[in-house]
Chains A and B, each alone.
Chain A
Amino acid sequence: MSRAVEVAVVGGGPGGLSAALAAARAGAQVTLLDGYTRPGGQYYRQPPDRLMARATRRQRQGRALWQQARDAGVEILSDWVVWDAAPDRTLAAAGPDGTTLIHPAALVLATGSYERLAAFPGWTLPGVMTSGAAQALLYQGVAPGKRVLLVGAGPLQLTTAAELLHAGVEVAAVLEAAPVLRKILPHAAAMWGQWERAVEGLESVLALASRGVPYRTGWGIVSAYGEGQVEGARIARLDADWRPVAGSEREVACDTICIGYGFIPFNALSRLAGAQQEWRPELGGEIPLRDKHMQTTMPGIFAAGDGAGLGGYRSALLEGQIAGLAAAAFLGRAGLGQESALRGLARRLERERAFQRLYSSLFAPELGLYELAQPDTLICRCEGVTLGDLQAAVRENGAASFVEAKNITRCGMGECQGRVCGQMIPQIISRLSGVSPEQVGSNAPRPPLFALPLHRLRAADQAAAGRSFERRL
C-alpha cells in the first residue's frame, strides 16, 4: 500500500524533531517516522515512564521538544523502520503490520549517527559494549556491570562515567586516547564562549576525581580477556599516533568495557536516494553534499543533524530548523520573515561548526587505533572475518578496494550490513595495500537497510495499515 504526505521526516532525534516542528509551524502537514519505540534519538533517549520522575535535564528537554512537535500537529510514527529511499523521495517504511510506501512532496533525513568502534583482541567478548549501550541500560535502571572500564575518544566516555558513578556503579578508569590537554592549548581561542561545554566536561572530571577514579589522557586499550565474558583489560600509554608505548602496559580488572571513538554519520538513506556524497573525515567520513538550506543534490531531499555530518545536538537542532523551514518552502509554504529566520539560524550554525572543527581536531582517530587487531581477531563480527582473512585477501588475492575484499571474504555482508566494521575495513585495507582509505571506498548500502521479519517487509494491506495509523494518532 502507499500513502502521500506533504513532508516526511526520518528520525526522531534532535534534528528530526526540530525539522518536523519547524515545517509544521510553517504550515506543512508533517509525518515523522522513527525506528525506535519513542522519539528522542540517542541524545534525548527517554527513560521508561515509571522512571520519568528521575529524568535528567536532557531527557526533559527531549520530552518537551517531542510534545511541541505533537502539539504542532506532527504525526509521529514510532517503531516505523525506513529501509529504503528512492530518488523520487519514495520511502519504504516498515510499520507493525508491514511495509507502506510513503510518497512525500519533501523529505528531511535526520538519521543520526552511531558509535565508531575499533577491533582489538577480545572485543567480541560479552561485556564489551559501546558507551551508548551502557547509557541505554542505565536509563532503564539496570547497570551494565559491577566494575566498568571506559576507553575511547571524546566526551561521551566522560559523561557516561559520571552517569555510572552517579548510579552507584564502580568505574575502574576512563582512558582517553587523545592527548587532550596537550592538544587543547593551541585551540584555546575556539573555546571562547563555549563555557557551558567547558563546565559540562569539568563537572564530569570532578565527579571522577572526587571518587578517586583515574582519568588518563593519551591511554588506550590493547586487549580484553576473560572466559566467555570480560574479566579484565590490558591497557597502555599511547604515542602521538595512538600506538601502545612498549613497556607501559598494565592490567585492569573489570567485568565491563565501554568503547567509543566518536561517531559515524548514518548516511545510507541519502545515498540510496541518489544524493551525491563527499568524503569529509573531520565530519565523520562520507556525508551528503548539501546547500545552505540543507538540501542534498536531490531536489526536495534535505538532510540534517549528525547523519549529514557530525556536529552534535546543538548543530542538529539548528540544521533541523533550517531543513524544516526549507522543506516547507519547497512546497510553497514560506512564511513572512522566513529569510531573516534562516539567516539567523545560519549565523548560529556557523558558531557551532567552529566548535565541531575543534572537537574533531582534538579527538580524530589516529592510525594506531586500527592496528590493535591480531591475525586471529575478528574484524567483521557478523560474518566471522578475521584480520588474517583480510591480509590474505590483500596479499594473496590482490584486493585493493572494499568491494574486492567483500567479494573474497564476505566482510561487511552480515546482519549489521557493515555498520560496525564498515569504517575500519578501509583503514585496514589501506594499511595493507598502500591505497588511500578514500580510494578503497566504502560499503555500499543495500535495501532493506535493516534485517526485519518478513511480515514487516511485505506490503501492508489497506485495512491493517489503516488500523496502525489510527493507533498512533
Chain B
Amino acid sequence: VKQKLSGLRLRHETQGTGPEDAPFALSVDGEEITAYPGDTIAAALYAAGRRAWRTARNGEPRGLLCGIGVCFDCLVTVDGVPNIRACQALAQPGMVVVTGQRGEDVE
C-alpha cells in the first residue's frame, strides 16, 4: 500500500541564497521527484508524500524508523546498489532510486 501524505515540505525551508541551492530531480521507481541540496533520500521521499517504501521479510511495509542510520529499516537501491540507507544517503541530481526492496535481498 503506497499511501500519500503530501505537503510535508515546509515552505519557508525551501529557499536558499545561491544557484547551488536550486531544487533538482531524481527518479524514484520511474517517477521524477523533487529534492533540495542536502536532502537525504528519505527526506525527499517524505516530501514527495511517500512514507512506506520497503517490504519487510514478513511482507509488511516499512519506511523511516530511527533516522540516524542504526536500524536499516529504510533501505533502498540506489543506481543499482542495493541496501543503501535512505536516511543517510544524500539525494543527488539524476539519481535512480528503486524502492520496494524486500528483506530477503539482504544477504
Q: Does A398 contact B (CB under 8 A)?
A: no
- For B90, the chain A residues whose CB sits under 8 A away are 37
- Asked if A130 and B72 sit within 8 Å, CB to CB, the answer is no
CB distance from A423 to the nearest CB of B (A): 12
A115 within 8 Å of B (CB atoms): yes
Q: Which residues of B contact A136 (CB under 8 A)?
A: 40, 43, 67-68, 87
Known pairs A42-B68, A130-B65, A420-B65; A50 contacts B75 (CB<8 A): no
Within 8 A of B (CB), among A250-269: 255, 266
Q: Which of A138-146, A202-210, A233-241, A428-436 contacts B (4 or more CB under 8 A)?
A: A138-146
**Docked pose: A416 CA to B72 CA in angstroms:** 6
Residues of A within 8 A of B61 (CB): 126, 228-229
* CB neighbours of A133 from chain B (8 A): 64-68, 87
A274 at the binding interface (Cβ < 8 Å): no
* Chain A residues whose CB sits within 8 angstroms of the CB of B27 once the complex forms: none
Q: What chain A residues lie within 8 Å of B1 (beta carbons)? A: 227-229
A417 to chain B, nearest CB (A): 8
Interchain CB contact under 8 A, A142 and B66: no
For residue B14, which residue of chain A has the nearest CB? A141
CB contacts under 8 Å to B, within A120-178, are: 124, 126-130, 132-138, 140-146, 167-168
Chain B residues in 8 Å Cβ range of A114:
66, 68, 70
Q: Which of B1-30 contact A (CB under 8 A)?
A: 1-3, 5, 7-10, 13-18, 20-21
A451: contacting residue among B14, B42, B72, CB under 8 A: B72
Q: Contacts A229-B51, A255-B5 known; A132 to B17 CB distance under 8 Å?
A: no
Query: Is B38 part of the binding interface, using a Cβ–Cβ cutoff of 8 Å?
Result: yes
CB 8 Å contact bits of B61-83 with A (1 = contact, 0 = none): 11111111111110100000111
* Nearest neighbor of B58 in chain A, beta-carbon distance: A384
How many contacting A-B pairs (Cβ < 8 A)?
171
If over half of A's interface residues share one DSSP class (helix, strand or loop), that class is named, otherwise mixed; here it is: loop
Once bound together, how far apart are the Cα atoms of A142 and B15, in whole Å?
13
Q: Give the distance in Å from the alpha carbon of A453 to the alpha carbon of B88 in the complex.
A: 14
Write the A390-426 contact mask toward B (1 if CB under 8 angstroms, else 0): 0000000000000000000000001110011000000
Cα distance, A97 to B9, chains bound together (Å) = 34
Q: How far is the CA of A127 from the CA of B21 in the complex (A)?
A: 29
CB under 8 Å from chain B, chain A span 99-134: 114-115, 124, 126-130, 132-134
Q: How far is the CA of A1 from the CA of B21 in the complex (A)?
A: 37
- Report if A49 contacts B (CB, 8 A): yes
Query: How near does chain A come to B27, taking the closest CB pair, in angstroms?
Result: 19
**Interface residue from B9, B57, B58, B60 paired with A142 (Cβ < 8 Å):** B9
Q: Which B residues touch A420, using CB under 8 A?
A: 65-66, 70-71
Chain A residues near B51 (CB, 8 Å)? 126-127, 145, 229
Q: CB of A47 within 8 A of chain B?
A: yes
Interface centre among B3, B67, B88 (most CB of A within 10 A): B67
* A132 CB contacts on chain B under 8 angstroms: 66-68
CB distance from B47 to the nearest CB of A (A): 5
Query: Could you say which of A49, A126, A130, A143 contacts B62, with CB atoms under 8 Å apart?
Result: A126
Chain A hits for B70, CB < 8 A: 114, 266, 416, 419-420
Residue A6 interfacial (CB < 8 Å) = no
Stretch from A309-317, A334-342, A363-371, A375-383 contacting the other chain: A375-383
Residues of B within 8 A of A126 (CB): 51-52, 61-64
> CB distance A145 to B67 under 8 Å?
no
A168 touches B72 (CB 8 A): no
Q: Is the CB of A128 within 8 A of B38?
A: no
A129 B65 Cβ-Cβ under 8 A: yes
Beyond the given A49-B37, A378-B58, please list 18 additional residue pairs across the A-B interface where CB-CB is below 8 A. Answer: A37-B90, A50-B16, A53-B17, A54-B13, A126-B63, A126-B64, A127-B63, A141-B36, A142-B43, A167-B13, A229-B1, A229-B5, A255-B5, A381-B73, A382-B72, A414-B72, A415-B83, A453-B81
Instruction: Give me the 9 closest cross-chain CB pairs, A-B, nearest first.
Output: A48-B38, A133-B67, A141-B13, A228-B1, A50-B16, A415-B72, A126-B52, A126-B63, A50-B21
What are some 16 contacts across the A-B interface (CB < 8 A)? A124-B62, A126-B51, A126-B62, A133-B64, A133-B68, A140-B40, A141-B13, A143-B10, A145-B51, A146-B5, A228-B61, A381-B73, A382-B72, A415-B103, A420-B66, A451-B72
